[in-house]
Amino acid sequence: MANILFELKQAGYSYFGRFPALCSVDLTIMQGAKTAVIGANGTGKSTLLSMLDALIFPDQGSVKAFGMPLDDKMQENSDFTMAFRRRVGLVFQNPDIQLFCPTVRDDIMFGPLQLRMRDSEAAKRLDKVVTELKLASLLDRSPCQLSIGEKKKVAIASVLAIQPEVLLLDEPTAGLDPQTTRDIIDILVSENLSGTTLVTATHDLHIIEEIADTVHVFGPERNIIRSAPPEEVLSDRTFLQAHNLVHIHRHRHKDAGVSHAHQHDVKHHH
Ligand X SMILES: Nc1ncnc2c1ncn2[C@@H]1O[C@H](COP(=O)(O)OP(=O)(O)OP(=O)(O)O)[C@@H](O)[C@H]1O
What residue ranges bind ligand X (CB under 6 A)?
15, 19, 21, 39, 41-47, 93
Is the Cβ–Cβ distance between 180 and 15 less than 8 Å? no
Residue with smaller CB distance to ligand X, 21 or 130: 21
Residues of the shown chain interacting with Mg ion in the complex, contacts defined by CB under 5 A: 45-46, 93
Rounded Cα–Cα distance for residues 251 and 60 (Å): 46
- Shortest spacing between CB 30 and Mg ion, in angstroms: 24
- Shortest spacing between CB 143 and Mg ion, in angstroms: 21
Rounded Cα–Cα distance for residues 15 and 10 (Å): 17
Residue with smaller CB distance to ligand X, 41 or 78: 41
Q: In one letter, which amino acid is 113?
A: L
Residue with smaller CB distance to Mg ion, 45 or 125: 45
- Shortest spacing between CB 100 and Mg ion, in angstroms: 20
Instruction: Name the DSSP letter for residue 36.
Output: E
- Shortest spacing between CB 47 and Mg ion, in angstroms: 8
Residue with smaller CB distance to ligand X, 34 or 222: 222
**How many helices (DSSP H) and strands (DSSP E) are in the chain?**
10, 12
39 binds, among Mg ion, ligand X, none (CB under 5 to 8 A by kind): ligand X
19 binds, among ligand X, Mg ion, none (CB under 5 to 8 A by kind): ligand X
**Maximum Cα–Cα distance across the chain:** 68
35 binds, among ligand X, Mg ion, none (CB under 5 to 8 A by kind): none
Distances (CA, A) of 236 to 20, 36, 91, 200: 28, 16, 29, 21
Rounded Cα–Cα distance for residues 70 and 155 (Å): 25
- Shortest spacing between CB 203 and Mg ion, in angstroms: 9
Residue whose beta carbon is closest to Mg ion: 46
Q: Which residues contact 90 (CB under 8 A, 6 or more apart)?
A: 49, 50, 52, 53, 55, 159, 168, 169, 170
111 binds, among ligand X, Mg ion, none (CB under 5 to 8 A by kind): none
Rounded Cα–Cα distance for residues 161 and 116 (Å): 13
- Shortest spacing between CB 76 and Mg ion, in angstroms: 30
Residue with smaller CB distance to Mg ion, 41 or 179: 41
Residue with smaller CB distance to Mg ion, 45 or 243: 45
- Shortest spacing between CB 191 and ligand X, in angstroms: 23
Rounded Cα–Cα distance for residues 92 and 5 (Å): 20
120 binds, among Mg ion, ligand X, none (CB under 5 to 8 A by kind): none
Residue with smaller CB distance to Mg ion, 22 or 246: 22
Among the listed residues 117, 116, 120, 99, the one whose alpha carbon sits nearest the alpha carbon of residue 108: 99
Is the Cβ–Cβ distance between 8 and 61 less than 8 Å? yes
90 binds, among ligand X, Mg ion, none (CB under 5 to 8 A by kind): none
